[in-house]
A and B are shown apart, each in its own frame.
Chain A
Amino acid sequence: MTERAATPPPGPAPAPDRASGEGPGALWLLTLARVRLFYREPSTLFWTFIFPVLLTVALGIAFRSRPPEPVAIGVVAGPGAAEARSALTGQPDVKVTVLDEAAARAALRTGRVAVVVVPGASPVLRFDPTRPESRLARVVADDLLERAAGRRDVLTPRQDTVTEAGSRYVDFLIPGLLGMNIMSTGLWGIGWVIAELRQKKLLKRLAATPMRRWHFLFSFAVVRLLFLAVEVPFLIGFGMLVFGTPFQGSALALALLALLGAAAFSGLGLLIASRASNQQTVGGLINLVLLPMMILSGVFFSSANFPDVMQPLVKALPLTALNEGMRAVLNDGASLAAVAPQCLLLLGTALVSFAVALRIFRWS
């Protein structure tokens, strides 16, 4: 048998015109195929480009910056109500309403007033300490009543109001949506698509050709990169133009974060799809990875809201690293060095997930 293996295969010698039929390279055509499949599928265009913009617009409008709400104080009708009322009015940002006992309780419960004053020789301030605006209203009411009763202020601090760039909700939101978009395009764009190809036996069909396996996987990477180069500037540019969101830090640091984030989530997508033969299974697994990160990693609200015991977990999530890194660069002007820990976490996720995925990947 070894003898046979050493001899060249029988059969006709390779045709001399071997090179004449050479068309464009395999890597190029595999990549071109992915690009064509992308733009011929309008729904992927929508989810990649239109959806994040719609989400930004909707949330940007819902949480736009508004003038401060007036402090709503209720006064219970009865003896002393008129005096209390005149003590409390006169301030521009205070709104006083006189109500009977039952109405006052209902108004406090439903949030129409934030504190209720029961007048008397020693007045009662009724409020809900779990509501921040209720605590604020108690302080304001207390202050006004004391002052009307003759308290003298010993300090009169000068007031200096500012609005920092990058402190609005929409400034917080844009980097979060960008991170979420990079995550979902990586997981769905790689994981879901590969699961589909396996289920349709197209992976098997391709594996039956002399195709180099890395050409196939590399074509996905190239296309991911290409769309990253469109989707990131698109969303940031949209935020800057429409909402005036800031871009304070280094563009290089942002590009690197986006690149590593895309690599990390593409790797996770590949890992999720590396063996499952059923597309539905992969869809479920993707959601299992994606949804917790959408909640925990600070897309819509700060991940600092989670208790301290959860913080190590929250900090270890790749989307947290991506969101924090991009927020630091866009809103706080962080340098490349300042976001190095986030970059390293993303790089590590990418390397580990790709290494494992390629080891266990199934073509049929």
Chain B
Amino acid sequence: MPDLAIRCRGLVKRYPPAVTAVDGLDLEVARGECFGLLGPNGAGKTTTVEILEGLLAPSGGEVEVLGRRWGEDAAGLRERIGLTLQETHLYEKLTARELVQLFRALYRRGRDVDEVLRMVSLEEKASSWYERLSGGQKQRLAVAVALVGDPELLFLDEPTTGLDPQSRRQLWDVVTELKRRGKTVLLTTHYMDEAERLCDRVAIVDHGKVIALGTPRALVAAHVGQEIVEFQLDGAADGDEAAFAALPAVQAVRRVAGGWQLVTDQVHLAIPALLGSLTARGQAAVALSTHRATLEDVFVTLTGRRLRD
């Protein structure tokens, strides 16, 4: 049996009368793994994470975190985990260093305050009041506060939502560094690029259930394929789905908003064949593009929806 940081079975959270936020969710996260929970808003990611963090009681199912249950030793578990909430506000009129010091004092053991500020590149802002930090700086400080207890397991709930590219990159560096140190990280996101870049494995969550699980690469290979060719037809002409599917090296055909997608593992064969076929029919392709298949494509394949619809 692998050494698990998180194990949950049949997790359910209902908000009577009619809402089921989490609907029988199973999850296993190994120690040292960076695991991503992906899904659109309202999929149940935050509810799941808050149950795992011991902040919400589940309506049903079993949860074990670091080999313990929340009912057994909540105080002991809190010493060993760190977290950021989806929306963190800290004391507006305390400085970054005062805030990290305060949270440091709440844990029996932990990291050096200045070291943590350095990890999130906030050493120059150490004496600034929280209210005067930018959105990205506040989010990094929330991560600093989560790290100062030197947790074995870190939960990050949408750590980069709404951040500028530079701040996102800085947060990614922090997570990468934590992975290097062998910490377990569970993060939620609706950015597929973030998950592909950071996560060893991801679970795609929709309507409170895991609908796909695996490494980003394996998920893409299993559900989509290697490459996506995307195009639109010139004018009002309608495409012939069967004809596209019959093209060499094309594994699947999908109609997407305003155009078509072909899934292939050999772009160099598929594109000439496509163009030849269109020319033969007197049609032309516009806005032709190809991209490596991503988790976004996996989500579209599985649900027929885009992530941020």
- Which A residues contact B (CB, under 8 angstroms)? 4-5, 9-12, 14-15, 18, 21, 23-26, 28-30, 33, 36-37, 40-41, 200-202, 204-211, 364
Contact = CB atoms under 8 A, between A and B. Distances in A.
Nearest to B145: A205
Contacts of A200: 89
B242 to A, nearest CB: 54
Given A40-B93, A208-B55, A11 B152 contact: yes
B79 A210 contact: yes
Contact of A209 (B101, B103, B129): B103
Contact of B66 (A9, A25, A204, A210): A9
Given A204-B55, A209-B149, A210-B108, A11 B90 contact: no
B227 interface: no
A209 B78 contact: yes
A331 to B, nearest CB: 40
A207 B105 CA distance: 14
Nearest to A14: B109
A29 B66 contact: no
A40 B95 CA distance: 11
A28 B93 CA distance: 18
Given A23-B105, A33-B102, 12 more contacts: A5-B69, A9-B66, A9-B67, A11-B152, A14-B109, A21-B111, A21-B112, A26-B106, A205-B88, A208-B54, A209-B78, A211-B106
Contacts, number: 91
Contacts of A30: 102, 105
Contacts of A364: 55
Contacts of A33: 91, 94, 98, 102
In the complex, which of the residues A9, A12, A18, A37 has the most CB atoms of chain B within 10 Å of its own CB atom? Answer: A9
B93 A36 contact: yes
B164 interface: no
Given A208-B53, A208-B55, A201 B78 contact: no
Nearest to A34: B91
B91 A37 contact: yes
24 contacts: A5-B69, A9-B76, A10-B3, A11-B66, A12-B152, A18-B109, A21-B109, A21-B110, A23-B101, A24-B105, A25-B105, A33-B94, A36-B94, A201-B87, A201-B89, A202-B89, A202-B90, A205-B145, A208-B78, A208-B83, A209-B103, A209-B149, A210-B75, A210-B78
Interface residues of B, number: 42
B85 A11 contact: no
Given A202-B90, A202-B91, A364-B55, A10 B78 contact: no
A319 to B, nearest CB: 31
Contacts of B67: 4, 9-11
B66 A18 contact: no
B107 interface: yes
| Closest 7 pairs between A and B when the two form their complex, measured CB to CB | A200-B89, A210-B78, A40-B93, A29-B105, A209-B106, A211-B106, A26-B105
B31 interface: yes
A323 B299 CA distance: 68
B50 to A, nearest CB: 9
A151 B196 CA distance: 112
A241 to B, nearest CB: 33
A169 to B, nearest CB: 39
B45 interface: no
A37 B94 contact: yes
A212 B1 CA distance: 35
Contact of A29 (B31, B102, B109, B112): B102
B104 interface: yes
A9 B107 CA distance: 18
A148 B26 CA distance: 107
In the complex, which of the residues B76, B103, B129 has the most CB atoms of chain A within 10 Å of its own CB atom? Answer: B103
Contacts of A15: 109
Given A23-B101, A201-B85, A208-B53, A5 B72 contact: yes
Contacts of B75: 210
Contacts of A26: 105-106
A26 B79 CA distance: 14
A6 to B, nearest CB: 10
A205 B67 CA distance: 23
A86 B54 CA distance: 93
